Chains A and B, each alone.
Chain A
Amino acid sequence: MAGSFWCLVEDDRQGNPKKVMAEVLGEAGRLASQAGGQAEAVWLTDKATEAGIKQLGEWGAKRVLLLENPAFAPYRGEVWAPVLAELCLKESPQAFFGAVTARQREAMARLAARLGAGLSADSTALALEDGTLVATRPVYAGKLLSKMTWAKMPWLATLRPNVFKPADSQQGAVAPVEKPAVTLPAAVMSLVERREDSSTGLPELAEAEIIVSGGRGLKGPENFAILESLAKAIGAAVGASRAAVDAGWRPHRFQIGQTGRTVSPKLYLGFGISGAIQHLAGMRTSKVICAINKDPEAPIFKIADYGIVGDLFEVAPLLEQEFKKLLEK
Chain B
Amino acid sequence: MKILVMIKQVPDTATQVKIGPDGKAIDTAGITWIVSPYDEYALEEGLRIKEKRGQGEVVAVALGPDRVKEALRSCLAMGADRAIHLNDPAWERADTLMTARALAAAIKQEAPALALFGRQAIDDDMGAVGAAVAELLGWPCASWIMEESVDEAGKAIRVGRQVEGGLELFDLPLPAVVSAQKGLNEPRYPTLKGIMGAKKKEIKDVKAADLGLTAEAPALSVIKLETLPPRPPGRIIQGEAADAAKELVRALREDAKAI
Q: Could you list which residues of chain A lie within 8 angstroms of chain B, going by C-beta atoms?
A: 74, 76-78, 81, 101-103, 105-106, 108-114, 116-122, 134, 137-152, 188-197, 204, 206-207, 210, 234, 251-253, 255, 258-260, 266-267, 277-278, 281, 284, 287-290, 296, 301-311, 314-315, 318-319, 321-323, 325-326
Instruction: Return the chain A residue nearest B161 by Cβ.
Output: A102
Chain B residues with Cβ below 8 Å from A137 are 124-125
The smallest beta-carbon distance between B116 and chain A, in angstroms, is 15
Chain B residues with Cβ below 8 Å from A192 are 158, 169-171
Chain B residues with Cβ below 8 Å from A81 are 135
The smallest beta-carbon distance between B110 and chain A, in angstroms, is 19
Q: How many A-B residue pairs lie within 8 Å, measured between CB atoms? A: 258
Q: Give me the 10 closest cross-chain CB pairs, A-B, nearest first.
A: A118-B220, A118-B219, A109-B128, A113-B132, A318-B245, A109-B131, A252-B183, A322-B249, A113-B135, A192-B169
Q: Decide: A146 near B234, CB < 8 A? Known: A140-B17, A266-B258, A288-B258.
A: no
Residues of B in contact (CB 8 Å), total: 83
B22 at interface (Cβ–Cβ under 8 A)?
A: no
Q: Decide: A146 near B225, CB < 8 A? Known: A151-B220, A260-B182.
A: yes
The prevalent SS among residues of B at the interface is mixed
Cα-based distance from A291 to B159 in the complex (angstroms): 38
Q: Decide: A189 near B248, CB < 8 A? Known: A252-B183, A305-B256.
A: no
Chain B residues with Cβ below 8 Å from A188 are 140, 172-173
Chain A residues with Cβ below 8 Å from B169 are 191-195
Q: Decide: A323 near B234, CB < 8 A? Known: A106-B143, A151-B218, A210-B259.
A: no
Q: Contact between A113 and B97 (Cβ–Cβ < 8 Å)?
A: yes
Q: Contact between A189 and B142 (Cβ–Cβ < 8 Å)?
A: yes
Q: Contact between A147 and B226 (Cβ–Cβ < 8 Å)?
A: yes
Q: Which residues 158-200 of B sit at the A interface, judged by CB distance below 8 A?
A: 158, 160-173, 181-183
The smallest beta-carbon distance between A116 and chain B, in angstroms, is 7
Chain B residues with Cβ below 8 Å from A210 are 258-259
The smallest beta-carbon distance between A96 and chain B, in angstroms, is 14
Binds A, one of B66-74, B80-88, B236-244: B236-244
B26 at interface (Cβ–Cβ under 8 A)?
A: yes
The prevalent SS among residues of A at the interface is mixed
Q: Contact between A194 and B136 (Cβ–Cβ < 8 Å)?
A: no
Q: Contact between A288 and B252 (Cβ–Cβ < 8 Å)?
A: yes
Cross-interface CB contact of B19 among A144, A152, A194, A307, cutoff 8 Å: A144
The smallest beta-carbon distance between A121 and chain B, in angstroms, is 5
Interface string of B52-93 (1 = CB under 8 A from A): 000000000000000000000000000000000000000000
The smallest beta-carbon distance between A138 and chain B, in angstroms, is 7
Q: Which residues 217-255 of B sit at the A interface, judged by CB distance below 8 A?
A: 217-228, 231-232, 234-237, 241-242, 244-246, 248-249, 251-253
B154 at interface (Cβ–Cβ under 8 A)?
A: no
The smallest beta-carbon distance between A82 and chain B, in angstroms, is 9
Chain A residues with Cβ below 8 Å from B132 are 109-110, 112-113
Cα-based distance from A143 to B189 in the complex (angstroms): 28
Cross-interface CB contact of A106 among B131, B160, B172, cutoff 8 Å: B131
Q: Contact between A277 and B140 (Cβ–Cβ < 8 Å)?
A: no
Instruction: Return the chain B residue nearest A103 by Cβ.
Output: B163
Q: Contact between B234 and A301 (Cβ–Cβ < 8 Å)?
A: yes
Chain A residues with Cβ below 8 Å from B9 are none
Cα-based distance from A137 to B182 in the complex (angstroms): 22
Instruction: Return the chain B residue nearest A188 by Cβ.
Output: B140
Q: Contact between B135 and A77 (Cβ–Cβ < 8 Å)?
A: yes
The smallest beta-carbon distance between B200 and chain A, in angstroms, is 32
